[in-house]
Structure 1
Amino acid sequence: MINNNDSFIRIKTLFTTPEQRKVPVLSKVYDDHEKLILYIRSIMGERFLSSVKGKKVFIKPNWVMHLRRENEEICLHTHHNFLIAALTAVLDAEPSMVTIGDAPVQGCSWKLLLNDAFYKRIDNLKDSYRIPIEIKDFRRVTFDIQTQEVKKDQHPLSDYLIFDLGENSYLEPVTDEKKDRFRVGKYDPKELSHNHRKGVHRYCIIKDLFEADIVINMPKIKTHQKTGMTGALKNLVGVNGEKAYLPHHMFGGTAIGGDCYPGKNLFLHLSEKCADKAFPKRTKRNYDVLFWTYLGVLFRELSCIKKDCRLSGSWHGNDTCWRMVFDLNKIAVYGKIDGTLSDTPQRNLYSLCDGIIGGQGDGPLSPVPLPLGIISFTNNSALNDVCMSTLMQYDLDKLNITRNAFKLIKDESSYTIYLDDNIITLSDLLQWSIPVVPPPGWEDCIL
C-alpha cells in the first residue's frame, strides 16, 4: 500500500542543546520566514523541487479546528507561517497551480480558522508568482456551535468521488454481517451503516486529490484520542468531505465485540444508546436532542468508570480508526478518478511535517505544546509515523497505527532514515526522543 523500496525520511532538528528544546525558544522559529523557507528547501531537496515544475500540486495541512484558547496557534494545527514558507518554496519551483484545503471538524469556524491576514498573504503570493492558488474548505456538512444549526450540502456531491473499497477495505475483517456497529460522533448511525457494511466501504473524497500530480501532506505532529498519535497517515482523513463516511469506533465495549470502551458496562451501553437517539435529530437546538443528550450524560456519570475512560473509542483499544485511516491512504496513493484502485501509484505523495512545536495531552482538539523541535520530509507516510511515534516515546507495539505501519515499511533494508543529513537507525532515533503526555486512555502505551 504505502511501502516503497526507495522510502526515505529526512528529519531536521532545530535545537543543539536541551536548553534550546523549550517551547519559548522553538516557538520563535515560526517567526523567521526566510529561515523557515531555507529549512524547508533544504529538507525537501533539489530532486523533489525540480519535479514540481509544471505540475498540479495539492497541499493538505492540518486545519482541524479554529483557535479557542491562548497559545493554541503553535500546537493545534499546521502553523500558518510554516504553511506559507512551504508554499513559497513550492512556488519557487514553478508548479502550474496549487490547491490547499482540508475538512476540519464540523464545528470549526472557517472564518476564525483563516483570517483576513492569512488570505492577504496568499493574495500577495498570487500577485508575485502569477500562479493560481486555491484555498478550499472540503466539508459538505458544517455545524454552527452558537446557533446549533447544521448546514448540509455546502458543496455538491459532484465535487467528490464516492470511492468504494469493498472487500479491499481494512475495515472488512471487523465488519459485522448482522449488526451495524460502526459509529462516528454526532452523526446518524444509519447514514454510516449505509456507507460501511459487509462488502461495502465507501468514502467521499474531494476530486482535487485525483487531479493532482503531487500531494504534499502537511500534518501537525500531535497526540490523538483515537489513534494515540496523529501524523502523516491520520492527516489524510481531511480529504474526505463528510463524516458520515468515516467510521471512528464500533458500538459497545470489547466484551460484546465493540471497541468503544474496555469490557462491558450497562450504564455506558445505555449512554451510547442515548447518543444514537440524539444525533440523528441534531438539526437545531430542540428539547428532544437535549433530553437524549443529558440522559446520556447521566448514564455516563452512573457508570462509575475511571476518569480517563471515555466513550467514542477514545482509548488504546480502538481497532477501527486506524483501519479507516489506512483505507484513505490507500485511496490517496492508488485511487483512480474512475473510483477503482490501480496496482501502481497514481500520484506522488509526500509529507512535510510541522513538528517544531507539536501537541501533547488531550489531542487532537485540546493539546498543549510539545517542544519536539523537528521538521520532517518523507515519501512514506507509514515510515514517518513510526519515526514520529519513536520521538514521542510511544511503545510502537501498543499503538495499532504504528504496529500495522511496520507491516507496510517491511524491514530496515527498504528505507533510509536521515537525521540532520546523517543516516541512522530507528533505535538510534530514541536518543532524540522526548517524554510526551499521552491522551487519556493511552497512558499504558508510553515507554
Structure 2
Amino acid sequence: MNQEKFLHIIRCFQDINDRNIDSLGKIYDDRAKLTAMITELLGHDFLESVTGKKILLKPNWVKHSSKETDELCLRTNDQWVIAALEVILPQKPISVTIGDAPIQGCLWEKAISPSFIAQIEQLSEKAGIPVGIKDFRRRTFNPASNIPVSERNPISEYVILDIGSNSFLEPISNSGGNFRVNDYDYQQLAKNQRKGVHKYCITRALFDADIVISMPKIKTHQKTGMTGALKNIVGLNGDKDYLPHHRVGGTKQGGDCYPGSNILRRISEIFIDLANKKQGTTYYLLLHRLSYLLWKMSFPKNTHNLGAAWYGNDTTWRMVMDLNKIAIYGKADGSLSNKPQRQLYSLCDGIIGGQGNGPLHPDPFPFGFVSFTNDSALNDLCMTTLMGFHPDKIPLIHTALKLTDIHNVLITLDHKKINTLQDLEPYSIHTTAAPGWDDYLNAN
C-alpha cells in the first residue's frame, strides 16, 4: 500500500487548432485511439496487477441526458468505459462490476443505453469474464411524476459505516437536524448525520473489489467548484438519506444555503422541508410550488440557491472528504482501519469537459486531457489548474492537499516530468464556472 503517488496526464491534441469540440469529440468514436491512450496511461505494471482480481469501475453516471450535448459532457463517455474494458479484460481479472448511484431523478434506462449494455455483454462473452452493470441507488424519486420508489436494493447490499467524530462534518454539526439534501426528508437525514453520528450507506461492491478504478468526467460543480476524482467517489453511497449537501439557513443564521439572511428565503426553506415530507401525495406539488414562488420573490442572485449552489457551501466538500476516507480505509464490518484497505485509482475522462452549470446541466468545453492516478487530490489539483481555476479557492481540493505530500510525487504530461504547477499553466483553458462560483473563481 506504500506505492509512490503518481499522476500521468496525456494531452489529446497536438496542435492548438485541434483543441475544439468537433475535433476532440471525434476521439470518442475512435476505439483504437481510446484503447491506445488507456493502455499508455495504465502501464504494463498496473495491467499485470489486475490478473486474478475483482475489479470495480465507478463511472460518473449522474443523470440521463436532457440535451444533445450531454452525451459529450454530462457523464463519463460510454466509449471511454468500453475502451477501458477492452484494455482490462485481456488481463484476465476474475470479474468486473460497473456501477454508480445517480441522482434519484435519473432515468436509468435513458442514461445506460441498450447499445452500451449490448457492447458490454459482447466483451464479457468474448473474454469469458463476468461483467455486471449495477445501479447502486436504494431509492428513486422523479419530482415531475411525484412517485417515490424505495428499497430498490435490499439493505443487505450495503454497509453502514458510522465514522463519528472522525467526520469532517463534525465541526459544523448540531443535534437539531441542520443538514439538508435536495428532494429528501431532512428528518431522515438527521438520524444519520448529527453531532457525534455520521453514517454512510456504502455499496458492498466497494468491499468486494480488490481494485477500484474511479472514472470521473471532469466538470464544474455547483457545490464544490469542480468535480473530478475526489467528488466521483460520492456515487459509492447508495442512499442520500445519509448524504448532507448543505445546512439550512443563510450564513448569518449558522447555515450555508445562501449568504446573509432573508425572511422569504427562510420561509421558502420551511415549505420545501414540508414538501419533501409529503412526497407521493398531492400536497407535495403544492408545497414545492409555494417554496419556488417565495424564493423567486426574494430576487435571488447566482449565489442564492435552495440547493446551496455557491462557493460558500461549507458542507458538501466535507461529505466528499468523508467518503474518500471510507473508500480507502473502510472495512466491510462497518469500521475504519488505521491502514489503507485498498488502492483507489482514477482514470479520468477529460477529452470533452463540462463547464457552466455543472454537474447536472453543463455545457461542453474542449478540455483535451485524460489522466490516471493513485492520488485523487493530486489529480484534481492539476485538473483544476488546467481549467484555469485557483485550487486554493476550492475548499475540497485545498483541504485534501493538506493530507497528501505533493512534494514527493511523480507527475507526467505526455511522459515528461512536471515539476511545478506553473509547467501546466501554458496548457490551461478558460473554463466558465458554475453560476454561484463564476465571479469568485474567475476573479484575479
Change (3 A) 1:307 1:400: closer
Alignment of 1:97 with 2:95, yes or no, is yes
TM-score when normalising by structure 1: 0.96
Distance in 2 (CA, whole Å) between partners of 1:255 and 1:56 is 49
Q: Residue 382 of structure 2 aligns to a residue in which SS?
A: helix
Are 2:302 and 2:436, in contact at CA under 8 Å, matched by a contact in 1?
no
- The amino acid that maps onto 2:141 is F
Gaps of 5+ in 1: none
Q: Residue 66 of structure 2 aligns to a residue in which SS?
A: coil
Aligned to 1:275: 272
Q: How far is the alpha carbon of 1:291 from its aligned partner?
A: 2.3
Distance in 1 (CA, whole Å) between partners of 2:66 and 2:180 is 27
Aligned to 2:146: 148
Aligned to 1:410: 405
Q: Residue 409 of structure 1 aligns to a residue in which SS?
A: coil
Equivalent of residue 440 in structure 1, options 411, 435, 442: 435
Are 2:378 and 2:406, in contact at CA under 8 Å, matched by a contact in 1?
no
TM-score when normalising by structure 2: 0.97
Alignment of 1:371 with 2:369, yes or no, is no
Q: Deviations over 1:31-58 (max 9, x none)?
A: 0001110110001111111110000000
Q: Deviations over 1:172-200 (max 9, x none)?
A: 111124x3110000100100000001111
Aligned to 2:386: 391
Q: How far is the alpha carbon of 1:355 from its aligned partner?
A: 0.1
Q: Residue 418 of structure 1 aligns to a residue in which SS?
A: strand
Aligned to 1:9: 7
Alignment of 1:423 with 2:420, yes or no, is no
- The amino acid that maps onto 1:441 is G
Are 1:417 and 1:426, in contact at CA under 8 Å, matched by a contact in 2?
no
Distance in 1 (CA, whole Å) between partners of 2:357 and 2:259 is 19
Aligned to 1:199: 196
Are 2:216 and 2:349, in contact at CA under 8 Å, matched by a contact in 1?
yes
Aligned to 2:18: 20
Alignment of 1:214 with 2:222, yes or no, is no
Matches within 5 A, 1:85-164: 85-144=83-142, 147-164=145-162
RMSD of aligned alpha carbons: 1.3
Distance in 2 (CA, whole Å) between partners of 1:307 and 1:228 is 14
Are 1:250 and 1:258, in contact at CA under 8 Å, matched by a contact in 2?
yes
Distance in 2 (CA, whole Å) between partners of 1:66 and 1:204 is 23
Matches within 5 A, 1:351-370: 351-370=346-365
Distance in 2 (CA, whole Å) between partners of 1:181 and 1:163 is 20
Q: Residue 424 of structure 2 aligns to a residue in which SS?
A: helix
Matched pairs, number: 441
Distance in 2 (CA, whole Å) between partners of 1:306 and 1:18 is 36
Aligned to 1:81: 79
The list of structure 1 runs, each at least 4 consecutive aligned residues, that deviate by more than 6 angstroms after superposition, is none
Change (3 A) 1:153 1:309: same
Distance in 2 (CA, whole Å) between partners of 1:378 and 1:185 is 32
- The amino acid that maps onto 2:245 is H
- The amino acid that maps onto 2:267 is L
Change (3 A) 1:185 1:375: same
Calculate percent identity across the aligned residue pairs.
50
Distance in 2 (CA, whole Å) between partners of 1:196 and 1:126 is 40
Aligned to 1:328: 323
Q: How far is the alpha carbon of 1:409 from its aligned partner?
A: 2.1
Are 2:58 and 2:98, in contact at CA under 8 Å, matched by a contact in 1?
yes
Equivalent of residue 41 in structure 1, options 33, 39, 42: 39
Distance in 2 (CA, whole Å) between partners of 1:53 and 1:279 is 47
- The amino acid that maps onto 2:104 is Q
Q: Residue 410 of structure 2 aligns to a residue in which SS?
A: strand
Equivalent of residue 171 in structure 1, options 169, 172, 177: 169
- The amino acid that maps onto 2:290 is L
Distance in 2 (CA, whole Å) between partners of 1:260 and 1:21 is 37
Q: Residue 216 of structure 1 aligns to a residue in which SS?
A: strand
Q: How far is the alpha carbon of 1:307 from its aligned partner?
A: 4.5
Alignment of 1:237 with 2:231, yes or no, is no
Alignment of 1:317 with 2:315, yes or no, is no
Q: How far is the alpha carbon of 1:144 from its aligned partner?
A: 3.7
Distance in 2 (CA, whole Å) between partners of 1:5 and 1:336 is 20
Equivalent of residue 289 in structure 2, options 280, 291, 294: 294
Aligned to 1:226: 223
Are 2:258 and 2:303, in contact at CA under 8 Å, matched by a contact in 1?
no
